[in-house]
A and B are shown apart, each in its own frame.
Chain A
Amino acid sequence: MNALSQPAKWERFFWPVVATGLLLALWYYSVRWTGTKVFPSPREVEKGLAELLRHHVLWNDIIDSLRRVAVGFGLAVLVGIPLGLTLGWYPAANQVVNPTMQILRPISPIAWIPVAIIFFGVGDNAAIFLIFLGAFFPIVVACINGVANVPSVYRRAGRNFGLTPPQLLGRVLFPAALPQILVGLRIALGIAWLVVVAAEMIAVDSGLGFLIIDSRNSGKRYDLVVAAILLIGAIGLILDVAFRRLETLRSVRWGFRHES
């Protein structure tokens, strides 16, 4: 529900450009008026970004970060979805495991860093382990809730057609819970992207998170810091948009409220 009339078509481009322009101007003049030597202006950030691109460092860092997210998130999906579906399917088992999960879940994945380093040493595997932990619990919880929220009409209909329990799980409960599971996966991917940056700032020496820390520590290159931050935002946005496209697939679209 919105106030006011339907905006015209040109406004869809006009207002975002105005707002972004104002923000950049505010940034630019803040830097000028405060006379800071450390914090970069938009122009300097743009130069910094160009410099990173020219030296090919950036591509390697982006690829490293994305690879870690892909592996950690992929593992969390492979383990978390079957586990979550099973726990949703057997409420008795869920009751047994639930208190343990409730305590492990709110431990910040970052807090596992020392333990991850013991297990895996400083390197890719430690970062992947942290991403796995960050993504695993939201996925399991989404699956449990998804299955538990399947209307009993669907379960009954499935049983009525003589499905065996595994068939019921695969042909009724999973598709019925899929929209909710997809939402959980999207949230988990967001968390994975958040965790990878943190992990790279502490536990490894490549990737976008490392780029930020490294630019700061070696010579206070805050133009590179801000450039890397904006890149992290842009890539996170692309991941999110790509995932949202899945929600428009026809066999899950019923589960989402879509505008227009």
Chain B
Amino acid sequence: MRDEHATRTNLLLLWRPLAFIALLLLLWEIGIRRQASHLLPGPWGVVGGIVDLVRHGLLLKYIVASLFRVTWGFALAVVTAIPLGLAVGWYRRAEMALNPILQILRPISPLAWIPIAILWFGVGDLAAIFLIFVGCFFPLMLTAIDAVQSIPAVYVNAGRNFGLSSAALVYRVLYPAVVPKLIVGLRITLGIAWLVVVAAEMIAVSSGLGFLIVDARNAGNRYDLVVAGMLIIGIIGLLLDLGMQSLEKVKSFRWGYSED
């Protein structure tokens, strides 16, 4: 009896969100039918658009192109910004010296760098990777600085008390203490990278999901492909976020996140 009740509740939990999505799709379809211009596609048009993309082999190619750029730009930012940020955070004078520069460069939209990226790297992968790198570098560096500065002094003192060498102190106290904050920062930054790659591809290169959107519109108002591209961007972004979120659940990092 009780199990049956539980399954029924679970089904209800699953069905309601699906029903909501179905309702939105229905409203979308009705909205399209009642509209005269026929420029925007309905849900079926979008499904047709995705099928078209798959058939021409473009979907996979563009997804790979976008992910390739994100991976490189993000990875380069991680390996440079985090060690640099940790070091700068540890030495107070370094943090003082660089803070004003960081504060000015950080709020610059990475897309504003597009002309410079094209000037330096030409139209192509490198320009897009550079833009993603710039978009990720500053948030990551600030996260790393903040993570070091908010290590409670007790941890460091306790580590010294147990007679750890400098290297052991870094490895056994500082590193585990900053990891939870870094992971949160990485997750947010990966979201930014995904946002930037789409924009960069709309302007600076001729492949990838962002290019797909612009190209489908410019070459014949194929709005079914535009919306299909948007949908795929959303789904991949969601998967990336879920992937990063699962890092937060790793046991030895867990303590850093509130249990409430």
C-beta contact mask, A97-138 vs B, less than 8 Å → 1, else 0? 111101111111111111100100000000000000000000
Q: Verify B233–A106 contact, CB threshold 8 A.
A: yes
Tell me the residues in window 181-195 of chain A with beta carbons closer than 8 Å to chain B beta carbons.
190, 193-195
A212 CB contact (under 8 Å) in B89, B91, B112, B152 = B112
Are B99 and A16 closer than 8 Å at their CB atoms? yes
Kindly report which residue of chain A lies nearest to residue B199, judged by CB atoms.
Answer: A110
Contact A114 B217 (CB under 8 A): yes
> Measured between alpha carbons, how far is A38 from B122 in the docked complex, in Å?
14
Q: Which of B95, B97, B101 has the most CB of A within 10 A?
A: B97
**Which residues of B have CB within 8 Å of A113?**
202, 213
**In the complex, are the beta carbons of B39 and A118 less than 8 A apart?**
yes
Chain A's nearest CB lies how many Å from the CB of B100?
5
Q: Distance in Å from the Cβ of B66 to the closest Cβ of chain A?
A: 11
Q: Known: A1-B151, A233-B106, A237-B104. Is A107-B17 also a contact (CB below 8 A)?
A: no
B107 lies within 8 A of A190 (CB): yes
| Minimum CB distance partner of B188 in chain A | A187
Q: Are A106 and B108 in contact (CB under 8 A)?
A: no
- Quick check: B202 and A202 within 8 Å, CB to CB? yes
Question: Which chain A residues lie closer than 8 Å to B73 at the CB level?
Answer: none
Residues of A within 8 A of B108 (CB): 229-230, 232-233, 236
Segment of B49-57, B76-84, B236-244, B248-256 in the binding face = B236-244
| Interface residue B20 (Cβ < 8 Å from any Cβ of A) | yes
> Which residues 215-260 in B have Cβ within 8 Å of A in the complex?
216-217, 223, 226-227, 229-231, 233-238, 240-241, 258, 260
Asked whether, in the complex, the Cβ of B111 is within 8 Å of the Cβ of A104, the reply is no
For the side of the interface on A, what is the size category? 35 or more
Which residues of A are found within 8 Å of B144, using beta-carbon distances? none
Q: A98-B17, A202-B202 are in contact. Are A106 and B148 (CB under 8 A)?
A: no
C-alpha spacing A19/B92, complex, angstroms: 14
Task: Establish whether residues B96 and A2, one from each chain, have CB atoms under 8 Å apart when the complex forms.
Answer: no
Q: Please give the number of chain B residues whose Cβ is less than 8 angstroms from any Cβ of chain A in the complex.
A: 77
B241 CB to nearest chain A CB (Å): 6
Specify which of B94, B100, B109 lies most central, judged by the most chain A CB atoms within 10 Å of its CB: B109
A114 contacts B97, CB within 8 Å? Answer: no
Contacts of A112 in B (CB 8 A): 230
**Residue in B97, B156, B196, B235 whose beta carbon sits within 8 Å of that of A18 in the complex:** B97
Quick one: which of A4-28 are within 8 Å of B by CB?
Answer: 4, 7, 11-12, 15-16, 18-20, 23
Binding site for B on A (CB under 8 A): 1-4, 7, 11-12, 15-16, 18-20, 23, 38-39, 95-100, 102-115, 118, 149, 151, 190, 193-198, 201-202, 208-209, 212-213, 215-216, 222, 225-226, 228-230, 232-237, 239-240, 257
Q: Could you list 29 examples of A-B contacts with CB < 8 Å?
A: A1-B150, A1-B152, A1-B156, A7-B96, A15-B93, A18-B97, A19-B98, A23-B101, A39-B119, A95-B13, A95-B16, A97-B17, A100-B17, A103-B231, A108-B195, A108-B210, A109-B195, A111-B210, A111-B213, A114-B226, A115-B230, A149-B260, A194-B111, A212-B112, A222-B115, A229-B116, A230-B104, A230-B108, A233-B105
Additional A-B contacts beyond A95-B17, A100-B17 (18; CB < 8 A):
A12-B96, A16-B96, A39-B119, A95-B16, A99-B21, A105-B237, A106-B238, A106-B241, A114-B223, A118-B223, A212-B115, A225-B116, A229-B112, A233-B107, A236-B106, A236-B107, A237-B103, A239-B107
